[in-house]
């Protein structure tokens, strides 16, 4: 088959090879442009895309690598380096596992609030974190005040319900409750002393008023007696 200049020019536009090599490839492929490109790839004249395989000769492409032969690190994710920064692509299964772990820690674990050995309420850890982050100026003072008023806190759930952690929280609650009782007793004592002083002051005022009234009556009586003597 005679190869025309137009065919050679078209192949050179696609493959960027010399006229001689383009003509040789077209002669080998019988003028077929695709076969000529495949011929040049097989000869190494043009680069082949990674993982690509072309053939017009009935050849079977190499079988894909079985999953068992893929390293464990490649199954879970691949690392790519761009501009000195390493990024990790996580597989769908990895995201699902991460979501399950976060859900278990933040939803299944709870902070229980007790008073006088009776449960009052329970908050998931996620809600507790949101309250502390976005309303710390209210949440933290209320939690501390609750300790002084006899409230007790403990964690429950598959991850945070540990005896050592709850024991520490119980000890803190006991200490705060003792301090709260001492403060209340001191306030009652001071209030009682103040009340006693007020009562004593009130009695003294009443005594002074009675004495003043008695003195006033005596003075009036003396004045009346003096006027009667003058008339006689």
The residue extents of the domains of the chain are 5-43, 94-232
Burial class (CB in 10 A: 0-12, 13-18, 19+), 94: middle
Over residues 83-118, the pLDDT tens digits come to: 444 444 556 678 888 888 888 889 889 999 998 888
Q: Are 173 and 147 in contact (CB under 8 A)?
A: yes
How many CB atoms are closer than 10 A to CB 21?
19
Over residues 148-181, the pLDDT tens digits come to: 888 999 999 888 888 888 888 888 888 888 888 8
- The one-character DSSP state at 79 is E
**Token duo for residue 41:** 């790839």
- For residue 35, which of 14, 4, 18, 5 has the smallest C-alpha distance? 14
pTM: 0.42
Pairwise CA distance, residues 221 & 72, whole Å: 117
């Amino acid at each position: 088959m005679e190869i025309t200049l137009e065919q050679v020019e078209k192949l050179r536009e696609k493959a960027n090879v010399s006229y001689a090599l383009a003509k040789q490839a077209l002669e080998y492929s019988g003028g077929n442009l695709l076969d000529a490109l495949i011929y040049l790839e097989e000869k190494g004249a043009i680069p082949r895309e990674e993982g690509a395989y072309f053939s017009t000769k009935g050849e079977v492409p190499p079988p894909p690598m079985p999953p068992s032969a893929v390293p464990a690190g490649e199954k879970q994710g691949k690392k790519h380096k761009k501009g000195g920064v390493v990024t990790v692509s996580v597989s769908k299964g990895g995201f699902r596992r991460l979501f399950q772990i976060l859900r278990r820690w933040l939803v299944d674990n709870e902070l229980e609030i007790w008073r006088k050995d009776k449960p009052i309420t329970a908050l998931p850890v996620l809600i507790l974190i949101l309250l502390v982050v976005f309303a710390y100026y209210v949440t933290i003072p209320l939690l501390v005040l609750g300790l002084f008023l006899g409230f007790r806190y403990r964690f429950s759930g598959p991850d945070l319900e540990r005896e050592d952690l709850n024991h520490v929280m119980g000890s803190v609650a006991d200490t705060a409750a003792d301090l709260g009782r001492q403060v209340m007793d001191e306030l009652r004592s001071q209030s009682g002393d103040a009340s006693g002083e007020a009562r004593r002051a009130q009695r003294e005022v009443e005594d002074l008023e009675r004495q003043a009234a008695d003195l006033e009556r005596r003075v009036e009586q003396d004045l009346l007696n003096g006027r009667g003597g003058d008339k006689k």
